[in-house]
Amino acid sequence: MMLFKLSLKNIQKSVKDYAIYFFTLILGVAIFYVFNAIDSQTVMMNVSKSTYDIIKLMNNMLAGVSVFVSFILGLLIIYASRFLIKRRKKEFGIYLTLGMSKRKISFILFIETLVIGIISLIVGLVIGFILSQFMSMLVANMFEADITRFQFIFSMSACIKCLIYFGLMYLLVMIFNAVNISKCKLIDLLHGHKHSERIKLKNPIFCTIIFIVFATVLGVAYYLVTGGVEKLQNANQILIPMVMGVVSTFFIFWSLSGLLLRIFTNMKKVYYKGLNSFILRQFSSKINTTVFSMTIICLMLFVTICVLSSSLSIKNSMTSNLEELAPVDVQLTKIIATDIDKPDIIADYDLSIKETLKKNDYDIDEKLKDVIEFNIYEDVTVTLGRMLGDSFAEVSTKYKYLGYEKLERIIKISDYNKIAKLYGNEQYQLNENEYMIVADFNSMIEIRNEALKRNQPLVISHVSYYPKYQECQIGFIEISSNHINDGIIIVPDSAVVDLNIGYKGLLANYVKTAKEERSKFDLELRDVVDKIWDNTSLISINTKLEIAEASIGLGGLVTFIGLYLGIIFLISSAAILALKELSESSDNKERFRMLRKIGTDEKMIHQALFRQIAIFFMFPLVIAIIHSIFGIMFCNTILETFGNDQLLPSIIMTAVFIVIIYGGYFLITYVCSKNIIKDR
């Protein structure tokens, strides 16, 4: 009973100085609950089957991510416990001196961990329950669900997951604490707080060499993921600049830690101004552990910035792309295959898509409006490789896996202008000896522009056509949620007379505009297409509603996983720094007391403390931001089909998360540290 009371007293005493530890545990439980409780509320939403399937997939993905998140949080909790035990070494030494056994000390820690775990679970679940209701509204809004049946729900499955995962984490902490205490010696416990790492001024010449070498290596890694990205053809090659970046980050921190102290010690006016010498010495006193932990924190912040920026950008881009890239309700495509041996399908080739649908009892005039039909032509002599002309050798060296033998898509100017008018895009005019290319996939635009600048001719039926424009014009034909048009050649109407039709297309809007009516028309038309596909015709269908649902589903999936991982990584990074700084402040109470004895006022002490903590928080963040500039450029290259118009708002939103969470931890750390070093 006495040990139980002592444990409760220790918890009460620790709350004031180590509020961040409790705050992180509670926040971890709350976030874990929120992202695992999404599926419970979605049961009450009235969504379509396809949307519900997407939500279920998202929930399954989040469940898998939760395993990884629990591993990260488990390491964070163990890391925090290590610093808390270190801070209390003298206290445990006194217990041993008074005759308490190590087993009883371990039991005290067991009770403390158990009580802290129960409190953090209860408070975290309550906060998580409240936040999950807002999350449910966000999910409903994102998936355009009917929330008339929405009600407050406590997710028992999410609660059980929290109890299991965090219960295992706390059990590991208990085992870790017991092992840690069993290995402690009395002399180390009593005097461990007085031991500080001996400051070793590193050789400045050696540090300079290391810095230059690994800054160069890091520059090469930056180049490989930006200017040299086309050379990264597989996962193993992508891994090379990642390893280079990780190793370079460690040695840059190692060299800078030695260089900065040497540089500032030689800058007498700066070094001896105020308490700068004290701050710099404090920064260097734990240099060995700082370098490794700073590297880990920097990399975690880098991942956080890239994941949050990219995921939010994808979501915003897909949403904004929908109206631009899917401006009509339905697109039908009839493939004209040369390698098929089915008489009914071959006979259907001569019919337009309208005629095929009417033949199968679908009344186009009653269901569709703004109907436009067009043909896409092909010529065996017109391939991507030939269209690149003199630039082929250079392009094929850089991009080895492009389909250079793929037949180009050709459309006559009158058909394209009909489509452009329907879409609200720019219409064009061509002379009889001119052609042009429309595209919206940036990488292919750059490749094609090289050939267009060289006035590459297009030869069809022994007639030469020359580019009207020296670069691709922005445009597309197929409806989509992404920029996927890698190039369509537009020629005069007379140029296609002798060409083969590759496929026929039809674009239209439904006569009814309500979502329920359009969904009904979608199902009816798809039933007709599915019935005749590969039997009497090769017609496929793509609709705006399906694109919207797929777009919203993928956007939601990426957004929630990105937010989940990003927030956990951000909290972990900030919490590790905060706990380390609180431990340092506890160890340095005597040093701050000595400053007071020599006449330093409280304002200067608080300024010194603020700057010391700011250096530790800003040092890894600045390097992470530099990494992220190139990391986001690489992500943008990989995900360019989504567009990058929404990248800036996503970066701003990521910055807001960092300011609130990372900055919040910084301020809490400063306030708690002031309380720790206070002259009592």
Work out the pLDDT band at 294, boundaries 50, 70, 90: confident
Whether 95 contacts 105, CB under 8 Å? yes
Q: For 368, phi and psi rounded to 5 degrees?
A: -120, 155
pLDDT at 171: 81
Q: How far apart are the C-alpha atoms of 219 and 603, rounded to whole Å? A: 42
Mean pLDDT along residues 242-263: 81
Query: Which tokens sit at 461?
Result: 């039926």
Tokens representing 537 are 């015709």
Residue 641 pLDDT exceeds 70? no
**Between these two residues, 487 and 103, which has the higher pLDDT value?**
487
Distances 639 to 217, 233, 442, 636 between C-alpha atoms, Å: 26, 15, 11, 5
What radius of gyration do the chain's Cα atoms show? 33
Write the DSSP string, 204-246. Answer: HHHHHHHHHHHHHHHHHHHHHTTTTGGG--SHHHHHHHHHHHH
Count of CB atoms within 10 A of residue 221's CB? 23
- Mean pLDDT is highest, among 55-69, 108-122, 334-348, for 334-348
The rounded distance, in Å, linking the Cα atoms of 284 and 264 is 12
Nearest Cα residue to 75 out of 571, 660, 583 = 571
Q: Tell me the β-bridge partners of 373.
A: 506
CA dihedral sign of residues 443, 446, 447, 448: positive
Question: For the chain, what percent of residues have pLDDT higher than 90?
Answer: 19
Euclidean distance between CA atoms 89 and 97, whole angstroms: 12
Q: Which two tokens stand for residue 142?
A: 């994102």
Per-residue model confidence as pLDDT tens digits over 8-29: 666 666 666 567 777 888 888 8
Q: Rounded to whole angstroms, what are the CA distances from 87 to 92, 269, 397?
A: 10, 35, 60
What is the C-alpha end-to-end distance of the chain, expressed in Å? 31
- Write down the mean pLDDT value for the chain: 80
Pairing state of beta strands 463-467 and 434-439?
Answer: parallel
Residue 376 confidence (pLDDT): 95
Instruction: Give the pLDDT of residue 644.
Output: 59
- Residues 103-114 have a mean pLDDT of 75
Phi and psi at residue 464, to the nearest 5°: -95, 135
Whole-number pLDDT of residue 377: 95
Flag whether pLDDT at 230 surpasses 80. no
Can you say whether the dihedral through the CA atoms of 127, 131, 133, 136 is positive or negative? negative
List 374's β-bridge partners, or say none.
505
Residue 356 and residue 506 in contact, taking contact as beta carbons nearer than 8 Å: no
Beta strand pairing call for 458-460 and 463-467 = antiparallel
- Angle ∠(447,451,455) on CA atoms, nearest 5: 155
Task: Give yes or no for a contact between 507 and 464, defined as CB atoms under 8 angstroms apart.
Answer: no
Three-state secondary structure call for residue 335? strand
Q: What is the pLDDT of residues 401-459, one digit of tens each?
A: 788 899 999 999 999 999 999 999 999 999 999 999 999 888 899 899 999 999 999 99
Higher model confidence: residue 121 or residue 10?
A: 121
Predicted local distance difference test score (pLDDT) of residue 410: 95
Q: What is the pLDDT of residues 443-475, one digit of tens each?
A: 899 899 999 999 999 999 889 999 999 999 999
* pLDDT band at 289; cut points 50, 70, 90: low
Q: What pLDDT is recorded for position 311?
A: 78
Distance separating alpha carbons of residues 627 and 303, to the nearest angstrom: 9
**Which residues are within 8 A (CB) of 462 and not within 5 positions of it... i.e. 6 or more apart?**
none
Question: What are the pLDDT digits (tens) for 549-603?
Answer: 777 777 777 777 888 888 888 888 888 888 778 777 776 777 777 777 777 777 8
Backbone phi and psi for residue 435, each to the nearest 5 degrees, phi listed first: -140, 165
On whether the CB atoms of residues 666 and 18 are closer than 8 A, the answer is no
Q: What band does 145 get if pLDDT is binned at 50, 70 and 90? A: low
SS3 assignment, position 182: helix
pLDDT of residue 496: 92
Q: Is the pLDDT of residue 366 over 80?
A: yes
> What's the pTM value of the predicted model, to 2 decimals?
0.73
Q: Is the pLDDT of residue 197 over 50?
A: no
d(CA 353, CA 335): 10
Q: What distance separates the 2 farthest-apart alpha carbons in the chain?
A: 103
Distance CA 69, CA 546 (A): 32
- pLDDT, position 339: 77
Q: Which amino acid is at 631?
A: G
Per-residue pLDDT for 361 more than 80?
yes
Please check whether residue 566 is in contact with residue 304, taking contact to mean a CB–CB distance below 8 angstroms. Answer: yes
| Spatial separation of the C-alpha atoms in residues 493 and 670, rounded to whole Å | 73
| Residue 407: DSSP 8-state | B
Q: What is the mean pLDDT of residues 264-286?
A: 66
Q: Residue 436: which of 420, 418, 452, 414 has the closest Cα?
A: 452
For residue 342, give the nearest of 535, 539, 533, 528 by alpha carbon. Answer: 535
| Cα(566)–Cα(304) distance, integer angstroms | 5
Least confident of 144-158, 457-471, 508-522: 144-158
DSSP notation for 474-540: E--SS--SS-----EEEE-GGGGTTPEEEEEEEEEEES--SHHHHHHHHHHHHHHHHHHBTTTB-EE
pLDDT at 322: 77
What is the rounded average pLDDT of the residues 352-364? 88
Q: Which residue has the higher pLDDT, 566 or 105?
A: 566
The pLDDT score that the predictor gives to residue 489 is: 95
Per-residue confidence (pLDDT) for residue 438, from 0 to 100: 96
Given pLDDT bands bounded at 50, 70 and 90, which one contains residue 103?
Answer: confident
Residue 76 backbone dihedrals phi, psi, to 5 degrees? -65, -45
Give the highest mean pLDDT range of 101-105, 217-221, 512-516, 559-563.
217-221
Average confidence (pLDDT) over 138-165? 71
pLDDT at residue 114 is higher than 90:
no
Whether 85 contacts 182, CB under 8 Å: no
Residue 493 banded pLDDT, cuts 50, 70, 90: very high
Q: Output 536 or 88, whichever has higher pLDDT.
A: 536
Q: Say if residue 157's pLDDT is above 90.
A: no
- Tell me, what DSSP letter sits at residue 301? H
Q: Name the region of 534 (left: φ>0; alpha: ψ -120 to 50; beta: rest).
A: left
pLDDT score of 471: 94
HSE-CB at 482 with a 13 A cutoff on CA atoms is 16
CA-to-CA dists, residue 420 to 468, 479, 507, angstroms:
18, 12, 11
Predicted confidence at residue 24, as pLDDT, reads 81
